[in-house]
Amino acid sequence: MRVLVTGGAGFIGSHVVEALTARGHEAVVFDVRDDPGADVRDPESVARALAGVDAVCHQAAMVGLGNGVDDAAQYVSRNDLGTAVLVAGMARAGVRRLVLAGSMVVYGEGRYDCPRHGVVRPGPRAAADLDAGRFEPACPFCGAELEPGVVGEDAPADPRNVYATTKLTQEHLVAAWARSTGGVGISLRYHNVYGPRMPRDTPYAGVAALFRSALARGEAPRVFEDGRQRRDFVHVRDVAAANLSALEAEAAPGTLTAYNTGSGVPHTVGELAGALAAACGGPEPVVTGEYRLGDVRHITADSSRLRAELGWEPAVSFEDGMREFAGAQ
């Protein structure tokens, strides 16, 4: 299979290219890092890249929480306009399989259970609560303390920042393409991906990269809130393997299917910082109480659908992955 990998020179994309090549597929890299003219927003460049392609693995995106709404236009341009140009080009070229780098951010907060009201969806956290150190969302009906759980793909979408909004729009665009062309669309809703080649020293990097950058400078990782935020940290090679499974899977035409892509083992942000500090031999993390207003408290995945339907299993444990990541380039 000849597969166009947008963002194929980037963090996740480069691992996808390696996984495809190892399986005997031909990977075609489309990335501005390799070629300044390879802009997914340019119809002519996209048309040339799609020539002779059997499928597309769409990894190119502007990621991370960013700077509030100041960079909203950049997110919409790179993520949504780029995806629109890509699917339009695929429709014209007759390419009928697309795997999208989706994200768990489309859910907003994760799943919560109230002892009185069952499963509830708390609203966005208020700055006054966060300033006072009240980080845990409460039941929207009775104010009771909630128990966080894992979120499944059928949970309603509730994007709570600009990046999350653009990731949900990408899915809608792919779904529209699939319906109109009979194509097969799969969105892998990545959880917190980490591993070798992760970007450093940028506000758009993930928390694992920010912690490792601090440790490389000899500084203590600064952990926001109280460090008890729950996340699912999944290794980049496992994510690349999920992309390979999605590209090779049998799927119904004319649909978009979403799959949570996480390790299935939740860890707190504080645990992540502590594991990296220990692996790097660096300073102990410092819990600061700071926060980002567009962030969510807990979001962890139920990835059983991906395992059951595509036969995917994560292979890298949190402990092994953190030791490798501490010394990775």
Q: Please give the Cα distance from 28 to 50 (Å, whole number).
A: 9
User: What's the confidence (pLDDT) of residue 69?
Assistant: 86
pLDDT tens, 281-317?
989 999 999 998 878 999 998 999 999 999 999 999 9
DSSP annotation of 78? I
Cβ–Cβ under 8 Å, residues 45 and 16: no
Q: Is the pLDDT of residue 92 over 80?
A: yes
Q: Is 163 a catalytic residue?
A: yes
Q: Is the pLDDT of residue 126 over 80?
A: yes
**Hey, how many other C-beta atoms are within 10 angstroms of the C-beta on 271?**
19
User: What's the confidence (pLDDT) of residue 68?
Assistant: 73
| This prediction's pTM | 0.95
| pLDDT tier, 165 (very low <50, low <70, confident <90, very high otherwise) | very high
HSE-up (13 A, CA, CB side) for residue 235: 19
| pLDDT tier, 118 (very low <50, low <70, confident <90, very high otherwise) | very high
Q: Please give the Cα distance from 106 to 113 (Å, whole number).
A: 19
From the list 75, 107, 163, 190, the catalytic residue is 163
Q: Is the pLDDT of residue 55 over 80?
A: yes
Closest among 32, 33, 23, 78 to 55, alpha carbons compared: 23
